[in-house]
Structures are given as C-alpha cells and as structure tokens.
Structure 1
Amino acid sequence: MSPSWRKPAGMIVILLLIGVWCAVIVSFSSIVGAWHPAAQLVFYVVTGIIWITPLKPLLRWMETGRWR
C-alpha cells in the first residue's frame, strides 16, 4: 500500500491555517491589549478554540478522500 498524497498536503494546509489564523489574531493585539485582562483571556481562549473547527473535515479528507 503506497502512502497517499493527501496526508502531506493536508499537513501543509493545517500549518498554513494555523499561520494565517495566528496572523489574523495578532493583528487585533493592539485593540485587545487595551481590554480588561479577563476579557483578553476570554478572547484568546475562544479564538484559540475556533481554529479547530475546520480541522474535522480536513482530517476526514486526509483519511478517506471525502469531505463528508
């Protein structure tokens, strides 16, 4: 059984997703930095969890070749 090209491609997409998401969140740092520390904590926890949402279909595609 030969390795699938989907796994390396999926890993690259995951790394790009993380990089883009980090750049987007960091672009808000000047605004978020002025907030109360508790509000900052909530913001960073929520945004730290949100990026995981598109991973399930991507990981499914990497394993099976289907999005659904």
Structure 2
Amino acid sequence: MHGDWNGSNSYWSKSSIPVYNDEVIIPSNSNLTILTGTTAVCKNIDVQYGAVFDVQAGAILSIKTP
C-alpha cells in the first residue's frame, strides 16, 4: 500500500476507501499519506511497526471510535 489514502480503492481490503465504521490496518511495508485539503475517516486505525503514515498539514483524519 503506497500513495494517497483517497487515491485508489485497490489499496483497501474491502476494495473501497474506508468510511466511518471501517477498522483500518496499515501494514508494515506501507507508505500512505492523507494529502493536504483532503479528509480521511475510519472507526479505528492500527499503524503497524515499519509503516510510514503521514497526515499532511491541512489534511484531516477523523477517527470515529464510539
């Protein structure tokens, strides 16, 4: 998984960009970015050891854990 969080459905196991009720795992060999001016949502997120995960300035990550 490499690139923009919102860039491709193929990055994700459900073949769609995560929504508020999805549990996200970013595997250890990944390099994923939420780009400036975009929003990403999920229920919770697990960034595994060795992964690179960047939320750029002006981007929003909203985690909707109950």
- TM (normalized to structure 1)? 0.20
Higher relative contact order (CA 8 A, sep 6+): 1
- TM (normalized to structure 2)? 0.20
- Structure holding more strand per residue: 2
